[in-house]
Amino acid sequence: MLDERAGRGSVKLHMTTKILVADELSAEGLELLNDAGDVTVKTGMDEDALRTTLADYEALIVRSATKVTARSLELADRLTLIGRAGIGVDNIDVEAATARGIVVMNTPEAGAVTTGEHAIALLVSMARRIAAADASVRAGKWEKSKFTGVELAGKQAGVLGLGRIGRVVAERCRGLGMTVSAYDPFVSQANAPDGVRMMELDELLGSSDFVSVHVPLADETRGLLSRERIQAMKPGARLVHAARGGIVDEAAVCEALESGHLAGAALDVFEQEPLPADSPLRSAPNLVLTPHLGASTVEAKRNVSLDMARQTVLALKRGVVLNGINVPRVAPADAAQLGPWLDLARNLAGLLTQLFEGRVQSVRLSVQGGIPDSAHRPLRVAMLGGALQHAVEGTVTPVNAERIGEELGLRVHSESSSMKRDFMSLLRVEAVIDEVRHFASGTVLGQRHGRLVELDGYVIDAIPEGPMLVTFHSDEPGVVGKLGSQLGNDGINITRMQIGTASNGGGEGGEVSAPALGILNLDREPTADQLDAIRQISSITRAALVR
């Protein structure tokens, strides 16, 4: 089960984490998921069935068939993660998931080649009228002159959207001898693929012989190819649409095909799926239709399953969310390195807010050394989650940590520095608690093991994992022996122990002043009475439990 004390933001795995797979996933993907918890496959659920089922699960994996609505999430109090095995997340109410602190992630890489290749297949089929010619031959006809096509070489292909799929299409079009132009408001000419000329949308539509749509469905792209823009396309142009239904005005496509303004079109996605029996698209001339086959290859189905399984295991075991939709994005190249640092940022902040009581007024993250810039925001959010998870009621996750911090008026800062001190890389978390500033610094050894190396001026080498007993005490013989005896009498085992000394004669925060600091990792938490008995040891100035 997920550790509720750690907060769902830590996305930490325990033995009985329950994962629901609501759509088909490959056998290889399911096998990987078994390493992350107890997996149940239950497909074909409607909203009511999903709503009642989700109450028992921490993670949900879907493809495109299952609709995850706000109502279906109403009872999902344990759910921390929704994974979409595929690119589009229009079947998931991301806003509702975000409001409940649930991470949503997808797999944008796995189906890019397959979907791009399907767009090229549609383009070629449309140019050479292959589908209509096939139907004619099957009907016993031989209408060779009726199906005269056009060459692709030398024609201009206009690509709308230069994301992963758009770049595949652009590359393939260049291989076919076409000149390629593209429209993407987020891509400059300097960042465009070789041989691709960036244009404004109207210029591209007015000059391209073939237009292929590869933008995501969002508020700003819904209805992007409206009736007016379709009419503004070059007379005799051809349209390929393999992105998401709702981007292209389907009625306007029918009109343009009937009038001859468009010489052809090929659609793989539709505003309503399955396509209604009475849809005018079914009878429109010079139109190729396929039933949303963009990612339907053996390779793509396997790849999206494997990618989602790997991402789910990484999120649940190490707290790293790849391809997050509603959380700070972590680049796949940084994932292996970043996981322990996210844990460290969260644990350092949680250590401070548990160790020093009072209202948290501000937190600051300092990143030193070789940690990539792309990791700074995820680290800041992890720090914020650690600071808040023991300071507020309710669940704090990477999805809602920033919002909760803003609502509380918490000041959050971050900075980076090339200064490395004694370590290749270092995190320093500062927290102002009831007007007193405290700090904890840590590093990661071997890209696996987080270490606390300094706490309010005390030099230490400890593993910041709970439960921990933290003591401020006299630097004299017998203190450790008394602590060990007391814990032993209570049946509590010390799994690790480190003693640190104050580099400046006392804690920087000013609240604690003692020559030595002890950090003891325990096999279980002491009770309140057992903790009080430890505090009665004469040499101990202060003792606190950190979970």
Q: According to the model, what pLDDT value does residue 513 have? A: 58
283 and 203 in a single domain? The answer is yes
Residues 370 and 450: beta-carbon distance below 8 Å: no
Residue 351, domain extent: 337-546
Q: According to the model, what pLDDT value does residue 161 have? A: 95
Q: According to the model, what pLDDT value does residue 185 have? A: 93
Residues 337 and 447: beta-carbon distance below 8 Å: yes
Q: Is residue 294 part of a domain?
A: no
Per annotation, catalytic residue among 47, 143, 200, 273: 273
Mean pLDDT of 239-261: 97
More confident residue, 250 or 477: 250
Per annotation, catalytic residue among 244, 364, 438, 473: 244
Q: Is residue 520 part of a domain?
A: yes
pLDDT higher than 50, residue 69: yes
pLDDT higher than 50, residue 458: yes
Q: According to the model, what pLDDT value does residue 314 have? A: 87
Q: What percent of the chain shows pLDDT beyond 90?
A: 58
More confident residue, 439 or 420: 439
- Point out the least confidently predicted range of 80-84, 289-293, 399-403: 399-403
More confident residue, 249 or 98: 249
Q: According to the model, what pLDDT value does residue 420 have? A: 54
Among left, alpha and beta (phi > 0; psi -120 to 50; other), residue 538 is: alpha
pLDDT band, very low/low/confident/very high, at 440 (cuts 50, 70, 90): very high
Q: According to the model, what pLDDT value does residue 1 have? A: 26
CATH assignment at residue 177 = 3.40.50.720
pLDDT higher than 70, residue 452: yes
pLDDT higher than 70, residue 15: no
Among 289, 319, 350, where does a domain finish?
A: 289
Q: Tokens representing 462? A: 């400890």
319 and 341 in a single domain? The answer is no
pLDDT band, very low/low/confident/very high, at 449 (cuts 50, 70, 90): confident
Per annotation, catalytic residue among 100, 118, 241, 292: 292
24 and 117 in a single domain? The answer is no
Q: According to the model, what pLDDT value does residue 6 have? A: 32
Mean pLDDT of 458-478: 87
Q: What is the mean pLDDT of the chain?
A: 88
303 and 281 in a single domain? The answer is no
Task: Quote the CA–CA distance of 348 and 369 in Å, as a whole number.
Answer: 18
Q: According to the model, what pLDDT value does residue 421 have? A: 59
pLDDT higher than 80, residue 409: yes
pLDDT band, very low/low/confident/very high, at 505 (cuts 50, 70, 90): very low
pTM above 0.85, yes or no: no
Q: According to the model, what pLDDT value does residue 418 have? A: 65
Q: According to the model, what pLDDT value does residue 2 have? A: 30
pLDDT higher than 90, residue 295: no
Mean pLDDT of 499-506: 67
CATH assignment at residue 520 = 3.30.1330.90
Q: According to the model, what pLDDT value does residue 336 have? A: 66
Q: What percent of the chain shows pLDDT beyond 70?
A: 93
Task: Quote the CA–CA distance of 366 and 419 in Å, as a whole number.
Answer: 10
- DSSP 8-state class, residue 527: P
Mean pLDDT of 406-432: 83
Per DSSP, the residues of 138-197 read HTT---GGGG-----TTPEEEEE--SHHHHHHHHHHHHTT-EEEEE-TT--GGGSPTTEE
Q: Tokens representing 33? A: 């998921």
Q: According to the model, what pLDDT value does residue 445 have? A: 85
Mean pLDDT of 289-308: 92
Question: Is 241 marked active-site?
Answer: no
512 and 396 in a single domain? The answer is yes
Mean pLDDT of 397-406: 83
Q: According to the model, what pLDDT value does residue 407 have? A: 85
Burial of 413 (0-12, 13-18, 19+ CB in 10 A): exposed
What is the C-alpha radius of gyration for the chain, rounded to an integer number of angstroms?
29
Q: Is residue 158 part of a domain?
A: yes
Residues 303 and 273: beta-carbon distance below 8 Å: no
Q: According to the model, what pLDDT value does residue 332 have? A: 66
257 and 167 in a single domain? The answer is yes
Q: Is residue 332 part of a domain?
A: no
Task: Quote the CA–CA distance of 345 and 83 in Å, as a whole number.
Answer: 25
Mean pLDDT of 357-368: 90
Q: Is residue 497 part of a domain?
A: yes
283 and 376 in a single domain? The answer is no
Task: Quote the CA–CA distance of 391 and 356 in Å, as a whole number.
Answer: 11
Question: Is 250 marked active-site?
Answer: no
Q: According to the model, what pLDDT value does residue 7 have? A: 34
Question: Is 380 marked active-site?
Answer: no
Dihedral sign for Cα atoms in the order 262, 268, 273, 278: positive
pLDDT higher than 50, residue 12: no
More confident residue, 360 or 398: 360
pLDDT higher than 50, residue 425: yes
103 and 140 in a single domain? The answer is no
Count of the separate structural domains present in the chain: 3
Q: Tokens representing 29? A: 């993907």
Q: According to the model, what pLDDT value does residue 5 have? A: 29
Give the SS3 label for residue 503: coil
Kindly list the strands in the beta sheet with 262-267, ordered across the sheet, starting from the edge strand earlier in the chain.
196-198, 179-183, 156-160, 210-213, 237-241, 262-267, 287-289
398 and 309 in a single domain? The answer is no
Q: According to the model, what pLDDT value does residue 331 have? A: 65
Burial of 91 (0-12, 13-18, 19+ CB in 10 A): middle
Q: Regarding beta strands 540-546 and 468-473, do their DSSP bridges make them parallel or antiparallel, or are they unpaired?
A: antiparallel
Identify residue 400 by its one-letter amino acid code: N
510 and 481 in a single domain? The answer is yes
Other C-beta atoms closer than 10 Å to the C-beta of 195 total 12
Q: Is residue 150 part of a domain?
A: yes
265 and 309 in a single domain? The answer is no
Q: Is residue 231 part of a domain?
A: yes
pLDDT higher than 90, residue 357: no
pLDDT per residue as tens digits for the range 178-227: 999 999 999 999 999 999 999 999 999 999 999 999 998 888 899 999 99
Mean pLDDT of 356-382: 86
Task: Quote the CA–CA distance of 338 and 384 in Å, as a whole number.
Answer: 16
Among 327, 347, 382, where does a domain finish?
A: 327
pLDDT higher than 90, residue 439: yes
Task: Quote the CA–CA distance of 183 and 426 in Å, as a whole number.
Answer: 42
Residues 478 and 547: beta-carbon distance below 8 Å: no
pLDDT higher than 90, residue 48: yes
Residues 172 and 182: beta-carbon distance below 8 Å: no
127 and 266 in a single domain? The answer is yes
